């Protein structure tokens, strides 16, 4: 019960941080710093995904790159041979 409340509070905090109601006045890392400026938003996004996954909404499955189509050429030894070569 307490763990679920804590995860919900973290999720709400990360969502509010990502929505940026202060127009960037309150940030953990300034966006003016090259390459490091967006790390805080990335961390908040990861935290939000983890919180949503805890409650059963797994959005990380959209990031998986599964092989949807078979290769054009199958290079396995048995399938590539003709009947005469056997």
Q: How far apart are CA 34 and CA 65, in angstroms?
A: 29
Q: What are phi and psi of 68, to 5 degrees?
A: -95, -30
Question: Cβ contacts of residue 43 below 8 Å, gap of 6+?
Answer: 28
Distance between CA atoms of 8 and 47, rounded to whole angstroms? 11
Q: pLDDT (tens digit, 9 = 90+) per residue, 3-42?
A: 889 999 999 989 988 887 666 666 667 777 777 777 888 8
Tell me the pLDDT tens digit for each residue of 65-84.
665 655 555 556 665 555 55
The pTM is what?
0.61
Q: Is 28 helix (H, G, I), strand (E, B) or coil?
A: coil
Alpha helices, H only, the chain: 2-19, 39-54, 77-80
């Amino acid at each position: 019960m307490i763990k679920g409340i804590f995860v919900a509070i973290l999720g709400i905090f990360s969502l509010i941080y990502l929505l940026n109601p202060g127009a960037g006045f309150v940030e953990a890392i300034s966006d003016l710093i090259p390459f490091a400026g967006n790390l805080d938003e990335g961390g908040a996004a990861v935290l939000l995904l983890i919180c949503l996954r805890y409650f059963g909404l797994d959005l990380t499955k959209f990031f998986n790159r599964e092989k949807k189509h078979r290769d054009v050429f199958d290079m396995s030894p048995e399938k590539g041979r003709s009947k005469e070569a056997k």
